[in-house]
Structure formats: structure tokens, C-alpha cells
Amino acid sequence: MYGFDPLETPAVETLDALGKFLPDTDRPNEGVFAWRDDGDWIALRYDLTAPLARVAAQYRNTLPLPYRRYAIGPVWRNEKPGVGRFRQFYQCDADTVGTSSMAADAELCILTATVLDAVGIPQPEYRIRINNRKILDGVLQAAGILDPDNPEAGAEMRGTVLRAMDKLDRLGPEGVRLLLGKGRKDASGDFTKGAGLTGVQLDVVMQFLASGVADAGKTLSCLEDLVGGTGSGADGVAELSEMMQLVSAHGAASGCVVDPSVVRGLAYYTGPVIEAELLFTVTDAKGRSQQFGSIAGGGRYDGLVRRFTGQDVPATGISIGIDRLLAALKARQPNLDAAGPVIVTVMDRDQMPEYQLMAAELRAAGIRAEVFLGNARNIGRQMKYADQRNAPVAVIAGSQEREQGVVQLKDLLLGRKLAEGASHEEWKARPSQLAVPRSQLVEQVRRLLTQG
């Protein structure tokens, strides 16, 4: 709908092509599954962005520019799995390569809002938080912990600062202040070493974080005051301002807010960064109620293609976490179970071709159906199986039925309804099992399914 073309890339790339952009992790290989094959180091992709940069570089002479692609596929992170955190998960990405226009970044926000609306998560149940890495560079410069003439110095400490800022939502201002300073002891007693900022440096960063308010205009002028004095900061505020203007022109994007605490973990971002989160609460495994949280993220990575070609190719993209999105939809609609197939039971093994014909007739009419293929001739076992499969109807045809030219249809939906407490009237009005002429199999099953 947005003009993005599909692109599929291999799951395996050379380690060099993927680059090292994951945040610090507790495992070797920087969180990547990598191994040596015929002398080369190869690895499973950790996102869909690095492979896109490789493709954009490799086919730069034949791809239309800007190149707009979407991709859906699994990615792998070599991390400790945890609740809602898997080593293999699905991402759906949309990226525009070859444009520095903020319109491309704004479009990604609108796209994300449209996707959430389309899957049934409307405003105000989500929020799309927008920031700009150049503004973050600006505040680091203003705090005196980033020297634009020597950007490598103090990189590790700045990483600690950015990770602390990213935790504002979770830990609140006091927690972040501790992590920026000497360190913080969490509820379990574990101590996290802080960034060791001085009092003045701390104030600059905390004031910056406090500039995130509901009104984008006020936040922007506040940011202008704080970081506008640095080159990076001024550029970042101008970009963010242009982006917000484009987003605001679009009615559907009312969920977009400027939020100076958005950092994004991946090291390749260079400009706008975007993070979408769901605001409704869910109950976790321990019965605690908490906000669903992050569902999508992205940003601009103007330097990623240059790694291959040496030429500047600006690019920006968004990545939606598919497993997270499905979990969110399931949390909202827990009874979203797929209906099971109609089960044709086997009363008489010799009649297998006839049972398969029944299933074929139902399938041809668009009804999901299968013949019971287990070994049990016992009807009880077969009914138990139908129940496990959430089957709506069971078809029963033994020798007696065959002689009479009928089949028995067992209404299992009704059975489950009764178990859930249907009324006596419903029970009387609708027999749970009925004999119908063999020739009416399809229409009678369909009748049971539609009245279900």
C-alpha cells in the first residue's frame, strides 16, 4: 500500500557484512550466532537492516533509488532467552534507502500507526516516541562528555550514559540519576556500576530528560535551548521539528510524541530514532499487571551502506516485532482459537475410501475436514480426539447408517456450549446428534457450522 517492494535475503551472511552493531551482551560474538565455514566467518542475521545495507550496496547500479523494500523473516540473537525474549524471533521491516528526506522518516511513523490501527489497536492504546541521535550527541557534547573532534574517546562511558537514559521509563528519574552517577542497587540487591558523571554533567543530562513533555512544540524549544549551541544538537532539533511537522499534517499520527529519552540499542543509528509501544496493561506470568511495552523500533542509519561502498547512501527504516505483535493481539483476545476441522470418524476400516470421499466433499465445499487416522476403533477415543482438536462436528457412519443411506452428525459446538452452561431451551431446540441423508452431508454440516 505504501509502495514498498518485497525483498528476501538469506538468513546467513558473512560476519563482516553484518557488522558489529548490537548492544553489549552477556555472550561472546556480540550476541550473534557465528561460525567458521571453509575459512570464512559466517553468521545468522541479527536483524533485517544489515542484510538490506549489503544488498543495497551490492545492487546499487540496478535498484531504483530511492529503494523502498519490506521484508518479513526470522532473526537470531545469541542471548539468554527470557520471558517474551527468544533467540529466534520474527521482524517485519520497511526501509527507504537513498534519501535524506525527513519525509521518509515521518512516513515510517505514519506507517506504524496505520499498521497498529489495521490490526485493531487504535489510539490512544499506542504511542510512537520519536527522538534524534544528533540531539543525543548534542546533549553529550553540552555535558562535556563527547568531543566532536575526537569522537572515539570515552565511547564506553557514553554507552553507559545512553543505556541509563533509555531506562527512564522503567526506573524513573531517580533510578536514572543513580546510574548516571555512582551506580544503583536494584530490589534484589544487585549493584550496577554507574557512568560516574560529575554534578554539572548530571544536571545537563537530567534536565534534558525532563524536557520530554506532552506538547511537542514546547519540548522542541526546550531542546533547542539545551543543545542548540552544538552543531549536532541544532541539526537534530531541526530534523525532529521537520519530522513532527510532516507527521502532524497526517491525521492518523496523533499517537506520535517527541521523547528525549528514546535511545535505541543498535549502534548504527545516525539521525531520527523511533520507538512504538503499546500502552494497555497485560498480566505477566507471575500475575503482575504491567504495560505491554515496545512493539516496533527503527531509525535512520546513514552510514550503513557506506561500509561497503565508501559512498554516502542515506537510509531509514522501521522494524515491527511480529511475535510481540501477535502476543499483544492474543492478550487482547485470549479466546482467539482457530476452529478445528470436522472429524469423519472411522467405524469400519473397510469403508476408508468412503470416509475419505466424505472429507473430500466437505473440503471441496470450503469446510476444513479430516478422516480420523489413528488406530482406535473405539468411538470414545475418536470423540476425545475430536475434542482435543476443537472440532465443531463429528461425522459417524457405521454399517447401520450405510444400509439406511444416512450419516450421523454430532454437534460438538453444542456440547461445549452446554458444558459452559447453555440453557435448557437451547438444549431442547437443538439435538446434539442427528441422522441426515448421506447426499445432504455437506449442506447439513454447513448448517451446523453457521448456527454455531
Which residues lie near a second copy (CB under 8 A)?
1-3, 5, 10-12, 33-37, 44, 64-66, 68, 74, 76, 78, 87-88, 96, 98-101, 103-104, 106-107, 110, 114, 245-246, 249-250, 252, 338, 340-341, 343, 352-354, 356-357, 359-360, 363, 366, 368-375, 385, 388-389
Nearest approach, Cβ of 61 to a second copy (angstroms)?
12
Shortest distance in whole angstroms from residue 353 CB to a second copy: 3
SS3 311: coil
CB nearer to a second copy: give 196 or 340.
Answer: 340
Q: Which grid cell is 331?
A: 492478550
- Print burial letters for 261-292: b (CB count within 10 Å at least 16), e (below 16): bbbbebebbbbbbbbbbbeeebeeeeeeeeeb
Pairing of strands 406-411, 393-396: antiparallel
**Pairing mode of beta strands 126-132, 256-258:** parallel
DSSP code per residue over 30-71: GG--EEEETTEEEEE-SSSHHHHHHHHHHTTTTS-SSEEEEE
Q: Looking at beta carbons only, is 33 or 126 nearer to a second copy?
A: 33
Q: Which helix (H) or strand (E) holds 387?
A: helix 379-388
CB atoms within 10 A of CB 117: 15
Shortest spacing between CB 94 and a second copy, in angstroms? 11
Q: How many CB atoms lie within 10 A of CB 128?
A: 26
CB of 421 to a second copy, least distance (A): 25
Length of the chain: 452
Shortest distance, position 380 Cβ to a second copy, whole Å = 14
Give the orientation angle of helix 155-165 with respect to helix 199-210, to 10 degrees: 40
Q: Which residue's CB is nearer to a second copy, number 45 or number 134?
A: 45
- Nearer CB in complex with a second copy: 57/110: 110
Beta carbon nearer to a second copy, 69 or 133: 69
- Report, in Å, the least distance between residue 260 CB and a second copy: 24
CB closer to a second copy out of 45 and 129:
45
For the CB of residue 405, give the shortest distance to a second copy in the complex, in Å: 19
> Which is closer to a second copy, CB of 121 or CB of 247?
247
At 24, is the secondary structure helix, strand, or coil? coil
